[in-house]
Amino acid sequence: MELLEIKDLTKSYDKKIALNNINIKIESGKIVGLLGQNGAGKTTLIKLINDLLTPDKGEILVNGKKVGIESKKIIAYLPEKTYLNKQMKVVEVLEYFKDFYDDFDLEKAKKLLLDLNLDINQKLSTMSKGMQEKVQLVLVMSRNADLYILDEPLGGVDPATRDYILDTILSNFKENASVIISTHLISDIERILDEIIFIKDGSVILQSDADSLRNKEHSSIDEIFRRMFKC
Amino acid sequence: MDFVFDNNIPIYIQLLEYLKIYLISGTFKAGDKLPSVREFANIFKVNPNTMQKALGELEDMKLIYTERTNGKYVTEDEELIKKLKDDYAITLAKSYFQGMKRIGLGKAESIKYLKELGD
Amino acid sequence: MLKKLLKYDLKYMLKNMSVFYILTIFFALTTRLFFSLNQTIIIQVISQISVGIMYALIANTLINTLMRSWLRFRDSIYKDEAYLTHTLPVSKNNIYDSKFIQTLVFFIAGFMVIILALFIAYYTKERWQLLKEFINTITTGLDFKPVVFISGFLAVVFLELFNAIQCGFLGIILGHKKYQNKTAFSVLFGFVVYLVSQSLVLAMSYVVGLFNESIMNLFKFNYLVDTNAFKLLMILAIILYVVIIFITSIICKKELNKGVNVE
């Protein structure tokens, strides 16, 4: 059974079609790059998997079951937005995650926050956006989930932070879990990808193993992407 | 240490290269216990699956072996490592001669340059 | 999981409302204090200011509870915080129930604070006696025990307001099915839902009236309200509002379970 299976998924906003009949299969233990330009439909797809949008047509199965309480137990999701209640202190947010997610590793989260020199008694409203995003990354990566979904985790950060984020992802995701990373910054991330999914104008135009694609095309994923997405 | 990877070449092939050099240079000696796949992946900052693939290749070449519960070890067969070293040295030497040939220098002359540098 | 959700919803409201509760009570105390002093002109002015602030705070307690319930509902189900709300491993029913109970609790709390504030500001033996007599005159005519009358009356007011809040919830849910002008549509739908619920109460009373003459008489203007009808109407109103509130909450949950579209 696939960890994630998406069948004939279609989603439109008003009359604009955002995703058009998408089919994807992702198995356990893979790091998958969801690659496409801004507005291609990456975030729409991710939001559908996380029950933040309702499909017009099609099905999303997580471990064979429809999106719901069971899928939410095993998916750790990092949205692009800062979504925590700003009135809360970091330590309260930790408690919140501990309360709701059985797989949340509180000690790990504390350690990661300590590495970042973050004071857990600080209120989120007094932190910069970048800091809040790091807190969110820590929260998500401190879960022992089966599927991590990270929406543009590298968007708009400096190279040092980029390295930190990639490191945190690599050294913290649970063994045999899968990770979906959406991004349009491919060169920074392609060395860690097992598989890639190219998404363009709401359609999946390619799903492939990363190394076989490199072998076949004799070039980097980044270059292949540029070629395929040339305007 | 930071490892640089060329995105045009499959990552596991580049990892394999790094690992071979570790064996040849004696960073890991015959019979040594190796770090786990995950530890290795953290060192190289790559995907554990890719790391596994590279280590798998090494295992196919009998340069390392897995003890079912204890992890991975470097082969005890020092001959094998020596052969790896020889092969690697020959490849390097060949590419040196090729480069020299391209600028019109024969083998004898090329060796002269080497000797001068060696002293 | 409902318990955990509720814990955080209540905590949030308490954090935001408690300061207003304390202020309301504080100005009720100052009002009483200044009125009990020798009424020089300055003291009179200060007393009036204190009364003014107290009433403003009383109004604020009601309006704030109302607005905060709606905004909190919208924010945690449709705004940025929805990214957390909908990815928690809890059912949509639990999410709704938690908001429902939270609103109920803080509405009751608000009511209590207001009553307490008025009591603190104005209680004297004589006034209490006066109030009692006033209620007695009404209730003897209506064949009611004063306590029953007061609690019945408060219950109707409370249920009526609570119904309005929940109509707002349904309005927000329906408004956010639209892709544009979500807030405007929320207000519009909320208003429509409220009108529908009020008409339903009226219609159901009428249906009951078909079987009960004294209720029917209320719909006919040429009859004087008889005491029996008033009592019945109060009971009827309470039952009808409870039914309406129950039905609306089921519709809300059903709509939520159809799925959301968070921006």
B99: confidence class by pLDDT, cuts 50, 70, 90:
very high
| Inside any domain, residue B6 | no
Residues 6+ apart with CB under 8 A from C186: C74, C171, C172, C174, C175, C176
Cβ distance A29 to A178 under 8 Å? yes
Q: Does the beta-carbon distance from B45 to A30 stay under 8 Å?
A: no
Question: Which positions 194-233 of C are in contact with A (Cβ < 8 Å)?
Answer: none
Provide ipTM, 2 decimals. 0.94
The answer for C 170-199 residues in CB contact with A (under 8 A) is: 179-180
Pick from A167, A187, A193: which is nearest to B47 by CB? A193
**How confident is residue C187, by pLDDT bands cut at 50, 70 and 90?**
very high
Q: Which residues of A touch B39 (CB under 8 A)?
A: none
Same structural domain, B27 and B62: yes
pLDDT digits (tens, 9 = 90+) for A180-203: 999 988 988 888 999 999 999 999
CA A21/CA A100 separation, integer angstroms:
34
Closest residue, chain A, to C262 (C-alpha): A52
Question: Is A7 a domain residue?
Answer: no
User: Whole-model pTM?
Assistant: 0.89
pLDDT of A14 reads 84
Chain-chain contact of B8 with A220 (C-beta, under 8 angstroms): yes
A88 touches chain B (CB under 8 A): no
pLDDT at residue C230 in the model: 75
8 Å CB contact between A178 and A26:
yes
Q: Using a CB–CB cutoff of 8 Å, tell me whether C80 touches chain A.
A: yes
* CA-based nearest distance B21→chain A, Å: 20
Asked if C4 and A81 come within 8 Å (Cβ–Cβ), the reply is no
Among the partner residues C1, C84, C258, nearest to A54 by beta-carbon distance: C258
Tallying the residues shown for chain A, one arrives at: 231
- Among C1, C15, C88, C176, most A C-beta atoms within 10 A, so best to mutate, is C88
Give the list of residues 6+ apart from residue A143 with CB closer than 8 angstroms, or none.
A76, A97, A101, A103, A104, A105
Amino acid C222: pLDDT:
59
**CB-CB: which of A30, A190, A220 is closest to B49?**
A30
**Domain parsing of chain C, residue ranges:** 1-123, 125-263
Smallest CA–CA distance, residue A175 to chain B, in Å, is 9
* Average pLDDT of the residues in B39-50: 89
Nearest-CB residue to B8 (from A30, A192, A214) = A214
Give the nearest partner residue to A84 out of C84, C86, C262, using CB atoms.
Answer: C84
Rounded distance between C-alpha atoms, residue A7 and residue B72, angstroms: 41
Q: Which residue of C has its CA nearest to A15?
A: C179
User: What residue type is assigned to position A218 of the chain?
Assistant: H
Map residue C145 onto helix, strand or coil.
Answer: coil
Mutate which: B13, B18, B36, B47, vs A, most A CBs within 10 A: B47
Q: Is residue A4 part of a domain?
A: no
Contacts of A139 in chain C (CB under 8 A): none
Q: Read off the CATH number of the domain in which A159 is found.
A: 3.40.50.300
Contact A52 C89 (CB under 8 A): no
Higher pLDDT, C139 or A222: A222
Instruction: Report pLDDT for C1.
Output: 87
Contact by Cβ (8 Å): A37, C247: no
Specify whether B55 is located in the same domain as B97: no
Give mean pLDDT, residues B105-110: 90
Residues of A near C (Cβ–Cβ under 8 Å) read 13-14, 47, 50-54, 69-70, 72-73, 75, 77, 79, 81-85, 87, 96, 99-101
| pLDDT tens-digit map of C195-223 | 999 999 889 888 888 888 777 777 776 55
What pLDDT does residue C225 have?
A: 62
Collapse the DSSP code of B73 into the 3-class scheme (helix H, G, I; strand E, B; otherwise coil) and give the result: strand
Say if residue B58 is in the same domain as residue B36. Answer: yes
Asked whether residue B1 is assigned to any structural domain, the reply reads: no
User: Is pLDDT of C252 > 90?
Assistant: yes
Q: Which chains touch C (3 or more CB pairs under 8 A)?
A: A
Residue B4 inside a domain? The answer is no
What is the average pLDDT score of chain C?
A: 91
- Per the domain annotation, does A173 fall within a domain? yes
Residue B46 and residue B25 in one domain: yes
Reply yes or no on whether the pLDDT at C24 is more than 90: yes
pLDDT for the residue A146: 96
Position B1 pLDDT exceeds 70: no
Contacts of B9 in chain A (CB under 8 A): 214
Residue B40 lies in a domain: yes
Mutate to test the interface with A, among C72, C77, C84, C85 (most CBs of A within 10 A): C84
How close is the nearest chain B Cα to the Cα of A168, in Å?
A: 10
Shortest CA distance from C80: residue in chain A: A83
Per-residue pLDDT reduced to its tens digit, C119-135: 999 999 999 999 888 88
Q: What is the domain range of residue A174?
A: 25-53+67-228
Which residue matches tokens 């060696």?
B118
Q: Under an 8 A CB cutoff, do A82 and C80 touch?
A: yes
Q: Which range marks the domain in which residue B27 is found?
A: 11-76
Determine, yes or no, domain membership for A187.
yes
Q: Which residues contact A144 (CB under 8 A, 6 or more apart)?
A: A103, A104, A105, A174, A177
Question: Does residue A118 belong to any structural domain of this protein?
Answer: yes
Specify if A168 maps to a domain: yes
Q: Which two tokens stand for residue C72?
A: 């909190």
Q: Within 13 Å of residue C159, how many CA atoms lie on the same side as its CB?
A: 23
**Residue A20: inside a domain:** no
Kindly report each contact of residues B70-77 with a partner whose C-beta sits within 8 Å and lies 24 or more positions away, as own/partner. B70/B33, B71/B33, B71/B34, B71/B36, B72/B33, B72/B34, B72/B36, B72/B37, B73/B31, B73/B32, B73/B33, B73/B34, B74/B23, B74/B28, B74/B29, B74/B30, B74/B31, B74/B32, B74/B34, B75/B30, B75/B31, B76/B30, B76/B31, B77/B30
Q: Which residues of chain A have pLDDT under 50?
A: none
Smallest CA–CA separation between A3 and chain B, in Å? 17
Task: Note whether A51 contacts C81, CB cutoff 8 Å.
Answer: no
Q: In the prediction, which pLDDT does A229 show?
A: 84
Look at residue A215 and tell me if it is in a domain: yes
Report how many domains make up chain B: 2
How many distinct structural domains can be found in chain A?
1
**Is the CB of A170 less than 8 angstroms away from the CB of B42?**
yes
B65 in the same domain as B26: yes
